[in-house]
Amino acid sequence: MSSEWDEILKDEFGDYASEEHEDRWLGVTKDLERGDPVEGVVLAHSTFGVWVDIGLGFPALIEIIHIVNMTPEKYRKDDYYPPGSKIEAMIRSCTTRGHQIRLEQIAND
């Protein structure tokens, strides 16, 4: 059974995790380096983070532990970066399995 966020990602990116997208994945990620700044739009929440579209054709994930100023209260209330929110982050890693880009949020001072 698919989760709501999984359906949102499939609607936005298609079957992004399939092997048929491997060449495109390699092309997108070959120039990405840890620490590269990116901007994107929050697409969906999951229990472990927020999924973001950074314009590369693959989903990007900011895990809860990498969201600046996250508190247990905000997490429990689901009171952080609603879908449609713009967010600044940096590349943390690229996960070949599942073709996912991992992000870390950048604090805005």
What pLDDT, in 10s, does the model give residues 35-57? Answer: 999 999 999 999 899 999 999 99
Q: What is the mean pLDDT of residues 71-81?
A: 90
Least confident of 27-31, 35-39, 86-90, 100-104: 27-31
In the prediction, which pLDDT does 64 show?
Answer: 93
Q: Which domain holds residue 10?
A: 4-105
Provide mean pLDDT across the span 45-72. 93
With a cut of 60, say whether residue 102 has pLDDT above it. yes
Give how far Cα 9 sits from Cα of 5, 40, 51, 72, 73, Å: 6, 14, 8, 26, 26
Strand residues in 1-109 grouped as ranges (E): 37-46, 49-53, 59-63, 86-95, 100-105
Asked if 88 contacts 106 with a C-beta cutoff of 8 angstroms, the reply is: yes
CA neighbor of 93 nearest in space, from 65, 62, 70, 68 = 62
Count of the separate structural domains present in the chain: 1
108, pLDDT greater than 80 = no
Full-model pTM: 0.88
CATH number at residue 27: 2.40.50.140
